[in-house]
Chains A and B, each alone.
Chain A
């Protein structure tokens, strides 16, 4: 007999991870392909870099809205956009 997972415990973490990953790309408010979702002992960690603080906040807002019961930690940075200080010479 097949044992079914208790629905109260929610979907397995791996499916949540996959769903979040797809949400980050497919949600028009996010559209990020460069965010990594990693399962850690104390919840899911989002990492990567985005182009503005607004986008970082939007990612966390959308993920929290969609998965209110999942503990999410953010380690998302904003990419620096300063002029380069060095060049690469290619003879």
Chain B
């Protein structure tokens, strides 16, 4: 059996974008069991922009599950943004998870926004000034929350959803100097602490699509500027022969 996941991040909605995604989104019931949004739904995180998100991504005929991104925090209206999204039937995760009953099995999704911090050997440490310690503790708290949420779900296929990246692989194309602002290795560690099948993130507009955690979990950067389409679709399951996979990959599937 197959579970079909559509995903996109960094759509940065405001009034000027409403309607651009909708024609493609209307096709979702035919091609996906759920749509996952990897944060940065809005430009500034206002309630008005959240209503644009609700209009564009609400009532799609498939469950929509999201995390917030850094842009969604800009105007300090997170509770209002979350309420508008939830009123539109969109599930907002932050250190929490949800299990969806799909035709192909139970899809578990655990999500956090995540945070920066950097990657193994080149990361910030919980040491020194209070500001630095607060920064790194935000990183570890977020990652710990993701690990707990992932391990709490009883499902057939487990997916981790974040805004910040859990690996450097999918940041290739971004300047090395800003990697610590784009993700952290602790998110990868959290993903590897559970039987995660796929990790999805956004945030890195100049990054690349594919990566793998040190533990072997596949990671996909679904930021809209990276995938350059309304959403990507992933089929998860044990139904494919390796030959079929390579044939599809060779044909240019990303």
Give the B-binding residues of A (Cβ under 8 A): 28, 31, 33-34, 36, 48-49, 51-52, 54-55, 79-84, 86-91
A91 to B251, CA, bound (A): 17
Instruction: Select A88's contact among B205, B206, B233, B242, beta carbons within 8 Å.
Output: B233
Instruction: Select B17's contact among A28, A33, A51, A82, beta carbons within 8 Å.
Output: A51
Determine if A51 and B11 form an interchain contact, defined as CB atoms under 8 angstroms apart. Answer: yes
* Interface: B134 (CB within 8 A): no
A84: chain B residues within 8 A (beta carbon): 24, 227, 229-233
Determine if A79 and B224 form an interchain contact, defined as CB atoms under 8 angstroms apart. Answer: yes
B234: chain A residues within 8 A (beta carbon): 87-90
Q: How far is the CB of A23 from chain B (nearest CB, A)?
A: 15
* Interface: B83 (CB within 8 A): no
* Interface: B151 (CB within 8 A): no
Determine if B228 and A86 form an interchain contact, defined as CB atoms under 8 angstroms apart. Answer: no
Instruction: Select B233's contact among A52, A79, A81, A87, beta carbons within 8 Å.
Output: A87
* Interface: B122 (CB within 8 A): no
A91 to B247, CA, bound (A): 13
Interface size for B (C-beta < 8 A) is 47
Determine if B17 and A52 form an interchain contact, defined as CB atoms under 8 angstroms apart. Answer: yes
The answer to whether residues A28 and B44 also contact, given A34-B205, A34-B206, A87-B253 and a CB cut-off of 8 A, is yes
Determine if B20 and A51 form an interchain contact, defined as CB atoms under 8 angstroms apart. Answer: yes
A79 to B242, CA, bound (A): 33
Determine if A86 and B253 form an interchain contact, defined as CB atoms under 8 angstroms apart. Answer: yes
Q: Give B232's nearest chain A residue, CB to CB.
A: A84
Determine if A31 and B244 form an interchain contact, defined as CB atoms under 8 angstroms apart. Answer: no
- Other CB < 8 Å A-B pairs besides A48-B206, A79-B228, 9 of them? A34-B10, A34-B206, A80-B228, A80-B229, A86-B254, A90-B198, A90-B218, A91-B238, A91-B242
* Interface: B27 (CB within 8 A): yes
Determine if B254 and A89 form an interchain contact, defined as CB atoms under 8 angstroms apart. Answer: no
Determine if A31 and B43 form an interchain contact, defined as CB atoms under 8 angstroms apart. Answer: yes
Interchain residue pairs with CB less than 8 A apart (8): A31-B12, A49-B225, A51-B11, A79-B228, A81-B230, A82-B230, A86-B254, A90-B198
Q: Which of A31, A55, A83 has the most CB of B within 10 A?
A: A83
A54 to B229, CA, bound (A): 19
B240: chain A residues within 8 A (beta carbon): 89, 91
